Amino acid sequence: MDTGYITDDNDRAFPYVLNRRWEVVDKLGQGGMGTVFMARDLNLPNLNDQKRACVVKQLRDDFFREEDREKALQFFFREAQVLAALNHPNIVRILDFFTEEGKSFLVMEYVQGQNLHEMVMKRQEPFSEEMVVEWAVQICDVLHYLHTHDPPVIYRDLKPSNIMIDVHDHVKLVDFGIARPFEESEDNTHVVSQGYSPPEQYWGAADPRSDVYALGCTMYFLLTGEDPAALNVASPKAVNPDISDHIDEVIQRSTQQDVWGRFQSALEMKELLTYNVHAGKKEQQSKPVLAIVAGVFVTAIFLGGLMLSAKLHDQSEMQPAPVDQYRDLEANKNLEAEKNKFLEDKRRFEKEKRELMSNFLNLGGKKEDMPQQAATTSAAKKLPTMAFPIYEQSDEAAITDPDGLN
């Protein structure tokens, strides 16, 4: 079996095999540190090509300066070490790392999709706010995983070209070349991406809030189609007026030059992002539901009030009868039955009213804004004219004892 190696100028014909397992079939691209190839895993012959697909990164070895070669090799090995220690659905998986005939190779899972920079350039227009927030929430999750890992990992190179979106709209972070475990006393390597790296990273003081800054810059790019200015991120709403005030605030806060002015964690940023999303859904869902409940509530009170008023009115019109009429036992029985029916109707009405009030509160109404119970006297019950606002769903505790509403 041919186990020859790939040269930088790609003078070998496809396919060829590396490390007796990885069949290289095509060239995907080339960058400053090496070349990326499409390959297949020969150890999985029973799977289709898509499931066997993987990516091989080959480190270049023709640097002009020895210090550049050593730095590139350091990043390459670090990427392999970091990826080997991680396990998250939004992080590309490492499959193999080896050196063959003096060349270094890194094999990773293949992500079918595009990076965000390519997607924006292809669209020639910004993405919708809803889509950007959905991706940002996923990125917050993976950053939280990295920052709370043991030891914590600072990504340090979050930008659109390092964020892949697969065919299911799932985020995948790639290129962990400059990611490294975070230590407070460590003098971090000064590697920056213009427009996406925060001020502290220029002097090697990156921490988790540095990744938060880069995420804010990435959101700015996705919503405006423009790279943010280096170290001076403006309001994205000034470029794209369709951006909501809430998301504009999130981006401006995450990109503060002072680390203490930013979100102090990716989780904190996610909470504000998802709060906005959930609040919007609650607003859309609670209004029609509360309108229906309120309508039923008012109708029930109105009809019930009419029923009770009619019964009370009928009773109030009963004139005292002559004494001899009360001697009719059947008449007394009918009167008692009518009275019992009236009292039963009254109890049923009050119960239904309490249940409706309880449901109204559970769906977001406020106790202090509920209509007051109509006054009842022995002669009549008057239904007051009432109007009350429709309240949006809130997180207030629901009243669970409807009997306590009277």
Catalytic annotation, residues:
157
Q: CB under 8 Å to 141, separation ≥6 — which residues?
A: 90, 266, 270
φ, ψ for residue 149 (rounded to 5)?
Answer: -70, 160
Cα–Cα distance measured from residue 54 to residue 76, given in angstroms and rounded to the nearest whole number? 18
Contact (CB, 8 A) for 147 and 265: yes
φ, ψ for residue 235 (rounded to 5)?
Answer: -70, 120
Contact (CB, 8 A) for 315 and 307: no
Cα–Cα distance measured from residue 345 to residue 307, given in angstroms and rounded to the nearest whole number? 9
Nearest-10 Cα torsion for 286, 289, 293, 298: 80
CA 66 to chain CA centroid, nearest Å: 45
Nearest-10 Cα torsion for 349, 351, 353, 354: 160
Question: How close are the terminal C-alpha atoms of the chain, in Å?
Answer: 87
Cα–Cα distance measured from residue 115 to residue 120, given in angstroms and rounded to the nearest whole number? 9
Q: What share of the chain is helix, strand, coil (3-state, %, to 5)?
A: 45, 15, 40
Give bridge partners of residue 24 from the DSSP assignment: 16, 39
Cα–Cα distance measured from residue 330 to residue 319, given in angstroms and rounded to the nearest whole number? 18
Contact (CB, 8 A) for 174 and 111: yes
DSSP string covering 231-254, please? T----GGGT-TTS-HHHHHHHHHH
Contact (CB, 8 A) for 219 and 251: yes
Residue with token string 């066997």: 52
Look at residues 150, 145, 293, 269 and name the one whose alpha carbon lies nearest to residue 216.
Answer: 269
